[in-house]
Each structure stands twice: as C-alpha cells, then as structure tokens.
Chains A and B, each alone.
Chain A
C-alpha cells in the first residue's frame, strides 16, 4: 500500500496535498455552528448535480414536451419522483444555507481584509446560483415557469437603447418560447458545473488566508488552531446529518411545500395567472424591484438597478466597514444594525409575496409604503454601517488577544 502511494506521490503529490489542505489544515479552534454552512452548501451542490444529471436523462427541453416529460419523471420513471423532489427541495435548502453563510460573514466581519477576494468570489457564486435556480424553475414549463421567465427576462428591456433587442436575443424570438426553453436548459446544465469549479477557487482563496472565527482576530499559533481532521470533519458531518433529517422530511412528507400549485398547469402564453410569485428565495429582491414605482417612466429601470445593486453592494461591503474590529460580537451598534437588517429582509420577503396592491389594516397602510420603507432600510444598513464606523461613532468593546 505505502509503496504504491510512494510511487504516486513522486509523480503527483497527493498525500502532501491532503495533509496540508485537509487533514492537517490548521483551523481556528473556536468556530461555532454558523461555520457549518459552507460545507452544507457544498453538500447540497453535490446533491443538485447528481440529481440534475439523472433528471436530464429523462427530461425533454422542448416547449411541446417539457411539461409532459416532468410528469413522466414523476409517474413513470423509477424513483423519478424522488429525483425530482430531491432536486426541487434541494434548491430551497441551497438558498437557506447560502443566505446563512453570507449573513455569517457579515456578522463576524469575514469580508474584511485580508478576505476581500474570498468574499467577492462568494458573491459571484451567489449570482451564478440565482441564475441557475431561475433557469431551472423555467424547465418544468408550467404557468409559473413561463410567467416567471417572461417577467424576469422583460427586466432586461429596461436597459436604455439596446434593451428591447437584448430581450429578443435572449428569447430567440418575440416571446418566451421553445428556443428560450432549450437554451435555458443548456445553461442550467452548464452553470452548476461552473459553480463547482468556482467553489474550488473560493476554497483556494480560503486556504490562502485561512478561516475567520467568531472572535474575529487572526489565529496565530498552534494554541489557536486545530487540525481540520478529525475535529472539523466530524463537526461538518454532524451538520450534514442534521440537514438530512430536515431535507428528508420535506422530500418525503411535504415535497410541494415550496412549490406553487400553478406550476402544475402547463404554460399558456396567452394567459397570465392572477397572482404570480417568484420562488421564496427571490422574494426580498422582487419586493425591492416593485418598491421603486414613484419615478414615473424611469421607475422600471430604477427598479431593476436597485434590485441588481441590492446584491452587488456586497462587493463594496469590505470598503464600507471601517471599524478597527472585525467581529460584531464586540461592536454594539453594528450588532443592532445587523439584526434590523435581518428582520427587515423577512419583511421584504413578505411584501414580495403579497400582491402589489395589498394593504394592512383594511387599507390603512398600503403594502407599497412598507415595501419602500423596507427597501430604504435595506440600503440604509450599508450606508449607516459605513457612517458609524468611518466617523468612529461606534466604540467597540475590548477584543481578546488570543482565541
């Protein structure tokens, strides 16, 4: 055995890589459970690629056949229902994990120097993930698939001058139709594989600068670190076990909890459902899009810009936060802002879920006002975090010297 390994190592230093990057890779000893969500996201990515690959062997990316082929998967293909429900619910868990993963970074200052590039790669992965999920949802070619695709691709028409031609180019016609479905399928197949690659660049950047930790100071010597194996292999596996319990609950007992009933109606380009909603994980951004409606003919473009910017702003977050301290654990003001931001994200999601002309207390508070306020709070977080830290308004509590 060892002679075989020696032979290989001389030619491809596998043992050395596994040792330095996995088993003996030094990891801060004080990581809490919020650090489990990276490995959980990777676990779901692998589930998505595996189930997606086998779904693609039965699915037909043709406007006339797509809906039927998904029903064929559900009714005729052996365990087809399982593959599809694993895939559809996997998307939900993927977003839960990625959102927690991002918020973890925001709370403990993981985006701060020297982890900016690591953070940016994460934001890029998030954009790719959103594109992938959006195009995946189009594939079953139900009413929600179709009209979700119509509304989102139409956003592009807001771009001045080239917008309309761009939309026709993306559609490959004059409406969302067969050519659109076919290319979305190919991209939905391709993007996750690219994501998989970018995840390794993400890990490369991580291993260059090492993990942040709840205290937010640099881990120095052997006293601060533990070897990744067995300490974090076992902890990550424990997380996977807990995840699988919840995941199996949804896959086997509530598989349609996150799916829309209207998506079991075949796509009809001649009729829009009375109330279209995006998947839950897009709701806050959808609410931001709809909240910008007070700028006249400029509203549409402004809404689109606000929506894209609401995520792109994460790129500049490392430069907005000027505090000398990374972790919000020692930053009383930032901590409060953070929890307002989180609560506000739920409000935005709720606004996005409801019809645009709805209101609270029988008309007393129109939903659109709540949407606008929440949008202001969303962006306000970044501005106020910057002001509070740049102007030294926040007095951080003392930070420990070692972990």
Chain B
C-alpha cells in the first residue's frame, strides 16, 4: 500500500516536471520564432509615393512598394469599357470594376499573381486585353480580375490614396 502511494507521488512529480519543462521550452522558443517575423525597418517601408502626371492613357509603370511590384496603369476608354463589360460575365472571383478603382482611368494593382506570386506581364499580354502571368498561365483582365488559369483570386488592389491630383500614395502609414 505504502509503495503504491509512493509511486503515485513519483508519477505526479515526473509529470509535473515534464509539463513545466515543456512549457518552459515553448516559452523560450517564442523569441526565436518571432525573430523571423518582419523587423521594424521592414515594417517601416509602409508607403510609396508616385508622381502619376507623366502617365499617358494606355501607359503603365511598375513601382516598388514594400519590396513588391505595383502596376499603375492609366486606362484608355476602351480598357475601361472592357472592364465594365466584364462585370456581367461569369467570373471566378466576382467583383465590380467600379469597386476596384478610385478613379476609373487609374488602375492600381499589386502585381503579385495570386497563384504562386510571380509578376504578371504588362497590360495587353493576356487574353481579355489584360495581364498574363508567365509562370503557370493565369490571365487577368483590364480590371486585374482573374479570368483564366490556375490563380484563384483577382489581383489585389493595395490600399492607396491621392495626396494631390498628381501624387499617388500606395499603402498606409503606420500610426
């Protein structure tokens, strides 16, 4: 009887010590794991400013934002019309063109394919008059919506604003 009690006590001590050890290691691992997350200087590259005045209709530039490419396209009336026509067609990731632009003539897109992150080629390379991702053949239309290929989602529209009529600010400054 006494031996049994002793064994219970020993089991408990072993269990408690192991649990304490595991919790301790887990807690100590946290700083190591967190050290891989974006550091303060990476987070500080929050916004990019772009002068859009030189852009002619149909012209597109690629600007870096947080190390990623952003397409800024001044759309022609035909491109806008084609994008709006797409609203009523069946889309893999339905979205209205009007909800994807702040000014109809200016399309701002995160140029990162939603499939596996390649940069699509410039306007006019894909079917639907839009962008073709060369890696696995995704076609995006003149609103940056996915129309064909393996990508599951539309090209993301990053947060952006206009500082003045000709200055585009991509991203949100951290408070």
Residue among A157, A177, A270, A290 facing the most chain B CB atoms (10 A cut-off): A270
Question: Which residue of chain A has the shortest Cβ distance to B62 in the bound complex?
Answer: A270
Shortest CB-to-CB span from A101 to chain B, Å, is 30
Docked complex Cα distance between A170 and B35 (Å):
10
Task: Count B interface residues, CB 8 Å.
Answer: 29
Q: Is the CB of A271 within 8 A of B119?
A: yes
Given A151-B116, A271-B119, are A172 and B152 also a contact pair (CB < 8 Å)?
no
Name the segment of B2-10, B20-28, B66-74, B101-109 touching the other chain: B66-74
Question: Which residue of chain B has the shortest Cβ distance to A273 in the bound complex?
Answer: B134
Q: Is the CB of B39 within 8 A of A356?
A: no
Docked complex Cα distance between A296 and B151 (Å):
9
Q: Is the CB of A172 within 8 A of B117?
A: no
Given A150-B118, A174-B67, A299-B152, are A272 and B135 also a contact pair (CB < 8 Å)?
yes
Q: Which residues of A contact B150 (CB under 8 A)?
A: 290, 293, 299-300, 356
Q: Is the CB of A276 within 8 A of B118?
A: yes
Docked complex Cα distance between A175 and B137 (Å):
21
Q: Which residues of B contact A299 (CB under 8 A)?
A: 150, 152
Query: Is B174's beta carbon under 8 Å from chain A?
Result: no
Question: Which residue of chain B has the shortest Cβ distance to A149 in the bound complex?
Answer: B117
What are 22 A-B residue pairs whose CB atoms fall within 8 Å in the complex? A147-B135, A150-B116, A151-B118, A153-B117, A154-B117, A168-B37, A172-B39, A173-B38, A175-B112, A270-B62, A271-B62, A272-B120, A273-B134, A275-B134, A290-B150, A296-B92, A297-B92, A297-B153, A299-B150, A300-B116, A355-B137, A356-B150
Residue among B112, B119, B133 facing the most chain A CB atoms (10 A cut-off): B119
A-B contact count, CB below 8 Å? 91
Q: Is the CB of B134 within 8 A of A269?
A: no
Docked complex Cα distance between A154 and B153 (Å):
14
Given A154-B116, A272-B135, are A175 and B38 also a contact pair (CB < 8 Å)?
no
Interface 1/0s, chain A 254-275, versus B by CB < 8 A?
0000000000000001111111
- Cβ-neighbour of A290 out of B92, B119, B136 (below 8 A): B136
Q: Which residues of B contact A271 (CB under 8 A)?
A: 62, 69, 119
- Cβ-neighbour of A270 out of B64, B117, B133 (below 8 A): B64
Q: Is the CB of A183 within 8 A of B119?
A: no
Query: Is A239's beta carbon under 8 Å from chain B?
Result: no
Interface 1/0s, chain B 135-156, versus A by CB < 8 A?
1110000000000001011000
Counting from the closest, the 9 A-B pairs by CB-CB distance are A154-B117, A272-B118, A175-B67, A174-B66, A154-B116, A297-B152, A272-B119, A151-B116, A173-B42
Query: Is B30's beta carbon under 8 Å from chain A?
Result: no
- Cβ-neighbour of A269 out of B38, B42, B68, B133 (below 8 A): B68
Q: Which residues of A contact B116 (CB under 8 A)?
A: 150-151, 154-155, 300
Secondary structure class of chain B's binding surface, majority of residues: loop
Q: Is the CB of A150 within 8 A of B136?
A: no
Q: Is the CB of B134 within 8 A of A272?
A: yes
Docked complex Cα distance between A271 and B135 (Å):
12
Q: Which residues of B contact A170 (CB under 8 A)?
A: 36
Shortest CB-to-CB span from A352 to chain B, Å, is 11
Docked complex Cα distance between A290 and B115 (Å):
11
Q: Is the CB of B119 within 8 A of A173?
A: no
Residue among B33, B38, B112 facing the most chain A CB atoms (10 A cut-off): B38
Docked complex Cα distance between A157 and B69 (Å):
18
Residues 50-71 of B contacting A (Cβ, < 8 Å):
62, 64, 66-69
Q: Which residues of A contact B135 (CB under 8 A)?
A: 147, 151, 272, 276, 356
Query: Is A379's beta carbon under 8 Å from chain B?
Result: no
Q: Which residues of A contact B42 (CB under 8 A)?
A: 172-174, 177, 179
Shortest CB-to-CB span from A190 to chain B, Å, is 14
Docked complex Cα distance between A275 and B39 (Å):
33
